[in-house]
């Protein structure tokens, strides 16, 4: 009978779970946290202490900051008896807590991940700019290991994806019989979690994603210095074509910051075929200083406008060829931009001599739609005068040299 192995993680469904910070030495200096999860023994001088970062119920098994396993004496006794050659238990004092606690270090690193049986694996490549990681796993889901490559190990970490802490079935059973708290066991052996048809679909989606990113990234770089880290919300989904909402930051001349959507021209995930999605991407540029772009009003405004565009086909149809004014929620926006009704107005699709009208993707053309914030009096003027009012606003913006730029600190043109 084939051996079974399980990934040991935290049980997430504990509402009052406590949280533990990173270990520090006797002088209060943070020690290198990564050494505890590399799959090898650790050499230390002196005792370690850890603080409680969030009060709650102390548990037998806890993943402290940066996923460092911390265990109580009941788990330590089982591991010492059943897998003494696989673990190193480093005593640690936890503030305001009685009892015996240890950092659990798995001292064996085994190359046993089964790429073909796992749901999805992605590797670091030379072009990713992280030479020290090339050949290791960059992403992993639905992990499966090959038990024939494990040998006699009962506790270990997986080569290339050391975040995974694996235990054998007999260790799992012993811990469950002891009634330990805080742990969850997820099997990493057995049949693949997805069918061959699903695997092929995932492969095609990954390939489409690579093609899309390879086309958009170089275009963004023609507009300025592109931040390598994208802004991605914690909760993903919604009406964007590939169900991924992404924003990019581009730094331009004269201290300008250009924020763009990076996903409205994705392929449609439900169709799994090349396309440019909605055929649009949005761009909002400001020359006002932004201390923290991720918490700034321009990004918040761009997010709200993008959601409206993604949700409404009528809006997208008008934007593919022309102009459109829109109002979105003014919550948490700068007061000078907010109307009496608590809204903020924007003008979409304004032509700019400083930004291209669009760009080419392998599957078609994409229009770059500018987003310009309006002051309340300008929004009122536009609503009162319709198309003529819009055209007059555009003329005045150009006349005063404001163009497509979004600003809070300016005088209204109407």
Q: Is residue 204 part of a domain?
A: no
Domains identified in the chain, total number? 2
Q: Verify that 152 and 218 share a domain, yes or no.
A: no
352 inside domain: yes
Residue 47: which residues within 8 A CB-CB, separation 6 or more?
A: 25, 26, 91, 92, 93
Residues contacting 127, CB < 8 A, separation 6+? none
H-helix or E-strand spanning residue 70: strand 68-72
Residues 319 and 240 both lie in one domain: yes
State which residues form the domain around 244: 211-399
SS3 call for 84 = coil
Beta-carbon contacts of residue 295 (< 8 Å; ≥ 6 apart): none
Distance CA 316, CA 278 (A): 7
* Residue 116 domain-assigned (yes or no): yes
In this structure, the answer to whether residues 170 and 249 fall within a common structural domain is: no
- 146 and 265 in a single domain? The answer is no
**Residue 411 belongs to some domain of the structure:** no
Q: How far apart are CA 342 and CA 338, in angstroms?
A: 6
Tell whether 110 is covered by a domain: yes
Q: How far apart are CA 314 and CA 58, in angstroms?
A: 54
* Helix 73-82 and helix 169-177, axial crossing angle in degrees, nearest 10: 140
In angstroms, the CA 44 to CA 58 distance is 25
Q: pLDDT tens string for the chain (414 positions)?
A: 469 999 999 998 898 899 999 999 999 998 999 999 999 999 998 899 999 999 998 999 999 999 999 999 999 999 999 999 999 999 999 988 888 999 999 999 999 999 988 988 888 877 677 888 888 898 898 999 999 999 999 999 999 999 999 999 999 999 999 999 999 999 999 888 788 888 888 888 888 888 898 899 999 999 999 998 888 775 556 799 998 899 999 999 999 999 999 999 999 988 889 999 999 999 999 999 998 999 999 999 999 999 999 999 999 999 988 889 999 999 999 999 999 999 999 999 999 989 999 999 999 999 999 999 999 999 999 999 998 988 999 899 988 888 999 999 999 988
Instruction: Tell me if 95 is assigned to some domain.
Output: yes
Position 311 in a domain: yes
Shared-domain flag, residues 118 and 173: yes
Written as one string, the DSSP assignment of 268-290 is PTTTTS---TTSEEEEEEE-S--
Stated as kind and residue range, the H or E segment containing 396 is helix 376-399
């Amino acid at each position: 009978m084939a051996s079974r192995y399980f990934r040991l993680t935290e049980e997430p469904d504990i509402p009052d779970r406590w949280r533990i910070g990173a270990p520090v030495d006797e002088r209060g200096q943070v020690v290198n946290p990564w050494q505890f999860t590399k799959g090898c023994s650790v050499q230390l001088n002196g005792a370690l202490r850890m603080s409680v970062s969030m009060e709650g119920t102390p548990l037998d098994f806890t993943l402290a900051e940066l996923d460092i396993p911390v265990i109580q004496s009941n788990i330590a006794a089982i591991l010492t008896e059943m897998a003494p050659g696989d673990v190193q238990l480093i005593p640690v004092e936890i503030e305001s807590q009685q009892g015996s606690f240890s950092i659990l270090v798995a001292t064996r690193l085994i190359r046993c991940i089964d790429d073909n049986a796992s749901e999805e694996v992605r590797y670091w490549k030379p072009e990713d700019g992280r030479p020290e990681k090339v050949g290791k796993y960059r992403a992993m889901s639905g992990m499966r290991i090959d038990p024939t490559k494990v040998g006699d190990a009962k506790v270990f970490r997986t080569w290339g994806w050391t975040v995974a802490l694996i235990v054998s079935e007999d260790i799992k059973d012993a811990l469950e019989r002891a009634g330990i708290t805080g742990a969850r066991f997820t099997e990493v052996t057995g049949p693949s979690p997805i069918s061959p048809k699903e695997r092929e679909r995932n492969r095609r989606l990954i390939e489409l994603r690579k093609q899309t990113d390879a086309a958009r990234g170089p275009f963004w770089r023609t507009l300025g210095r592109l931040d390598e880290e994208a802004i991605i919300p914690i909760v993903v989904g919604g009406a964007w074509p590939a169900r991924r909402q992404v924003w990019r930051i581009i730094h331009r001349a004269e201290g300008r910051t250009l924020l763009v959507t990076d996903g409205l021209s994705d392929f449609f995930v439900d169709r799994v075929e090349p396309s440019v999605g909605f055929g649009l991407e949005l761009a909002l540029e400001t020359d006002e200083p932004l201390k923290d772009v991720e918490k700034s009003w321009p990004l918040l405004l761009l997010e709200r406008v993008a959601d409206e565009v993604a949700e409404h086909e009528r809006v997208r149809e008008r934007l593919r060829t022309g102009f459109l004014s829109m109002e979105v929620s003014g919550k948490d926006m700068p007061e000078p931009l907010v109307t009496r009704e608590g809204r903020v107005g924007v003008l979409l699709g304004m032509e700019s001599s400083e930004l291209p009208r669009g760009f080419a993707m392998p599957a078609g053309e994409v229009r770059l739609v500018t987003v310009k914030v309006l002051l309340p009096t300008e929004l009122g003027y536009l609503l009162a005068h319709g198309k003529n009012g819009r055209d007059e606003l555009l003329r005045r913006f150009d006349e005063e040299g404001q163009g497509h730029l979004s600003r809070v600190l300016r005088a209204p043109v109407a």
